[in-house]
Structure 1
Amino acid sequence: MKRIAGLLAGAFAVGGCLGPRPVAPATTAVVPPPAWRTALPASGAVRTDWWSAFGDPVLTQLIERAIANSPDLGAAAARVDEARALQRLARAQLAPSVSAGLPTSDARALNAFGVATTNVAAQPSVSVSYDPDLFGRLRNASAAARAQLLASEGARDGVRLGLVSSVATGYITLRALDARLAVARDTLAARGDGLRIARRRAETGYTSNLELHQAEGEYRATEQLIPQAQLAIARQEDALALLLGETPRAILRGAALTALRTPPIPAGLPAGLLRRRPDLYQAEQTLVAADRSLDSARAALLPNIALTGSVGVILTTALSNPVGVFSLGGSVLSPLFDGGRLRANADATIARRDQAAFAYRRAALTAFREVDDSLAGVQRSGEQAVAIRGQRDALAAALRNASNRYRAGYSSYLDQLDTQRGLLTAELALVQANADRLTSYVSLYQAMGGGWSEADIAPVRR
């Protein structure tokens, strides 16, 4: 755990223009620790309070709606119920089996006088069978079913964690598309002013029609960005509605992209947060289940002892009093020759256990990679946004100078046109950089197994 803490201790410290839409109605060295994950509540994989750090209540509301209505999460919960039923079934194999019966029989015969008589006999009985499970075959099978149940719960938490991260990422993407649409409309308005100036100059004979056609072509090029952005917005809204478990509809907007705050990242994140990752927990429990299944398969190679007993009475018209009967016995069943089926099953179980061990190792390595990628994304996208913002400010100042010089007749229209193109590119790049930075925070939330809180960070600070 010290090595894990050292790897995570270097965490970087970084600090709607849309028209209305119609709203529709044992042989491996990879061994998990015995208590890898502490007990969490049913919603432990999702910290709804963590999203409040973005300063947008609409985002938190969308996440809560997705958790309540998502069909994927409902299917994952149904798989947990199935695993819980299978665990009860495996545990029931350890209990004695009790059954009762009431068979009846009748016999017809002729007596000495030639009269037909009927004897009716009833045999009510209770039978009990029990497998003492001397070699742990049933106990290991029950333990494997228990581990499979925990693995299915980890899978459910993984679906929930991926769901809320997808909703947050989709919402950020939607706000970025809104910002791109706003940039396109502002640029179109500015180029409309330039087109009017170029037309007035061409009509008065001050300039040639070349500048007029250049201004008109640039205006049309900017005009086509608006329906393109509107189409992307409509598709993103539909994708978000699907995550929310709803029919396609307009999505409520909250804070603008630039108004979304970012949760502060401490100088060191505790390694224990990785223990809450559902995929890591699922891989661990899958390994435990495979190991217990291996023990059960090996126990199947040993003799099986079963105890049976029955108690009953015989009631018949031929006897004046009932007759009590009982039996008690046991049986030993040992595999002598089965064509190698049991041994092959044990070997296959060993291979599955090894696969689960390597999958567990890969899940752990993937967790470290995702954390490092997310931290790097937060830092580098922030640095990129700062650089693009400086470029945008410089190009905005250059555009003002070029426009003034063009109006005064000191420079050609090409100078203003080139500056306008560069400014539009910088504006769109800045929107994308801000969205990438916010998305990196969401990825870090998911990589850390559900975000972090002040209580999680306090042990590291001490």
Structure 2
Amino acid sequence: MKFPPVAMLAGVCLTTACAPTLTKPPAASAVMVPEQWRTTLPSQTREDAVWWNGFGDPLLSRLVDAARAHNPNVAIAALRIEEARAQERVSRSALLPNVDLSVSGAESRSVSPFGTAAANFAAQPAFQAAWELDLFGRNRAQVDAAKANVAALEAARVGTELSVTAATASGYITLLALDNRLAILNATLATRGEALRIARDRAEAGYTSQLELRQAEAEYRAAEQQIPAIQANIARQENALSQLTGEAPRGIERSASFAKLQRPGVPAVLPSELVRRRPDIVQAEYALAASDARMRNARAQFLPQIRLTASAGAAVSSALDDPIGIWSIGGSLLAPLFNGGRLQGQFDAATAQRDQAAFAYRGTVLGAFREVEDQLAVILRLDEQERALAAQRIAVADALKHATNRYRAGYSPYLEQVDAQRSLLSVDLALLQLRSDRLTAHVALYQALGGTP
């Protein structure tokens, strides 16, 4: 039985009407972008693409450049982009015709009714072409999903590069802070060694009891035992920086002391700009686009597939005087009628995945806003805390001077001087840690702002 074209067109319309309706992402996944940041710092500067140069240490900049160029994770992220681009080319191939060349041949020997042998050779070379008419965008949706995946992975590479940059800069700052901490402990050890010598001389002369001598020795040993731990931390930090730069563990060269590190300015970036420049937000946005394309592809599975085929060739045989040309042109229409709910399930799953991607995008944006606000608040409050700590150090250093003078004059026990020494060491280490935290907070702020503009 032959179906007229009108009947085929009616079948196409019927299957089109059975296709589900595409829906928009949930309204709850939308993001309201604030106009300004909650915390505002008074000093804001113009952006610099190489923001790590703002610390004023050439070796820090050199270390960061080496990490960005040789870190294995950055290389892997770049290769993932190449893989995704190859997959995109695979998807694009569905939009073009497929052309194949086939050659079949055979040679046979048979016996005729008259009992004589006869040899025969036959061959049939042919070109075959097939093309699916993408009337309903099924293949185009696959291409769109592949393109969005490439863009998402490009954003992921930028994010990986930014993470490596921030980790290297923070690691170098921590390394210089550890060097400074070791210098403070060495100076404290020298001071307590002098106090131990004085206490030993006074005990041997009979001016003091053995109690003060043992107290001085205990304080000396307490400072002494902290030094190996700091040295081990320095070695571990150097090993971590070596790994970030793609090298085996080695010593890290330093060009400046911790005190000479400069504080980079805070770039003036609005919340609306953050949405366009943060790599993880861009990646989430393209992931949402890819999931939306996959949902369109799942809907297109309900619609007919129209495929055109053609072939042309020749029949060559020893039984023929000349080759005979052969050809064929045809088409096929495949429309789903019953599949046990498989297509509907696939569409529902793709829709749910698209909605998940929409909420993931919202969560990424909100998390980015929080990270920036956190770092702005930390930098602002650390400045206030440093002023209080600096004033405390002046008071503690003055108290130590008076306690030392009183002890040497014999007006107070050694315990007063010990307490003052402990307080000064504690304040010095706290002040060093605070300044290190403030510098690393600037690194974290640049990372939260998306790094380069």
TM-score, normalised by the number of residues in structure 2: 0.89
Instruction: Give 1:285-324 correspondences, 5 Å limit.
Output: 285-324=286-325
| 1:377 counterpart letter in structure 2 | V
Counterpart Cα distance in 1 of 2:275 and 2:334? 47
Q: What's the counterpart of residue 442 of structure 2? A: 441
Contact 2:38 2:373 in 1 (8 A): no
Is 1:206–2:207 an aligned residue pair? yes
Partner secondary structure for residue 8 of structure 1: coil
Q: Which residue pairs with 1:197 in the alignment?
A: 198
Superposed displacement of residue 152, structure 1: 0.9
Structure 2 CA distance for aligned equivalents of residues 235 and 139 of structure 1: 52
Partner of 1:335: 336
Kindly provide the CA deviation profile for residues 237-275 of structure 1, in whole angstroms up to 9, marking residues without a partner as x: 111111111111111112222211111225664631441
Q: CA deviation at 1:365?
A: 0.2
Following superposition, the deviation at residue 9 of structure 1 comes to: 7.6
Identity percentage of aligned residues: 51
After TM superposition, give the deviation of residue 112 of structure 1 in Å: 5.8
Q: What do the CA deviations read for 1:107-129 (whole angstroms, capped 9, x no partner)?
A: 44444643221221211110110
2:106 equivalent in structure 1: 105
Say if 1:374 and 1:444, in contact at 8 Å, map to a contact too: yes
Q: Which moved more, 1:295-304 or 1:111-120?
A: 111-120
Structure 2 CA distance, aligned partners of 1:48 and 1:283? Answer: 23
Match of 2:35 in 1: 6
| Contact 1:444 1:451 (8 Å CA) reproduced | no
Q: Which residue of 2 aligns with 1:459?
A: none
Q: Contact 1:10 / 1:268 at 8 angstroms: preserved in 2?
A: no
Task: Please show how residues 4-403 of structure 1 align to structure 2 within 5 Å.
Answer: 4=33, 6-8=35-37, 10-14=39-43, 49-111=50-112, 113-265=114-266, 269=270, 271-403=272-404
Post-superposition offset of 1:316: 1.2
Q: How far apart in 2 are the matches of 1:237 and 1:115?
A: 91
CA contact (8 A) 2:371 2:448 kept: yes
Q: Deviations over 1:57-101 (max 9, x none)?
A: 111111111112111111111111111110110011111000011
SS in 2 for 1:410: coil
Asked whether the equivalents of residues 9 and 270 of structure 1 are also in contact (C-alpha less than 8 Å), the reply is no
Unaligned runs of 5+ in 1: 16-45, 453-462
**Amino acid in the other structure paired with 1:13:** P
Q: How many residues align?
A: 422
Secondary structure (helix, strand or coil) at the match of 1:180 reads: helix
Residue by residue over 1:401-435, the C-alpha shift from the partner in whole angstroms, topping out at 9 and shown as x without a partner, is 11112111222211111100000000000010000
Q: Does the aligned pair in 1 maintain the 2:269–2:449 contact within 8 Å? A: no
Shift of 1:338: 2.0
Report the TM-score, using the length of structure 1 for normalisation.
0.88
Change (3 A) 1:73 1:101: same
Asked if 1 retains the 8 angstrom alpha-carbon contact of 2:50 and 2:452, the reply is no
CA RMSD of aligned residues (A): 2.0
Q: CA deviation at 1:51?
A: 1.2
User: Take 1:269 and 1:254, find their aligned partners in 2: how far apart are those partners?
Assistant: 35
- Partner SS state of residue 133, structure 2: coil
Aligned partners of 1:11, 1:87: CA distance in 2, in Å?
44
Q: Decide whether aligned partners of structure 1 residues 115 and 59 sit closer, same or farther in structure 2, where only a CA change above 3 A counts.
A: same
**Structure 2: gaps (5+ residues):** 1-30
Kept in 1: contact 2:299–2:347 (CA 8 A): yes
Cα distance change of structure 1 residues 177 and 214 upon mapping to structure 2, 3 Å threshold: same
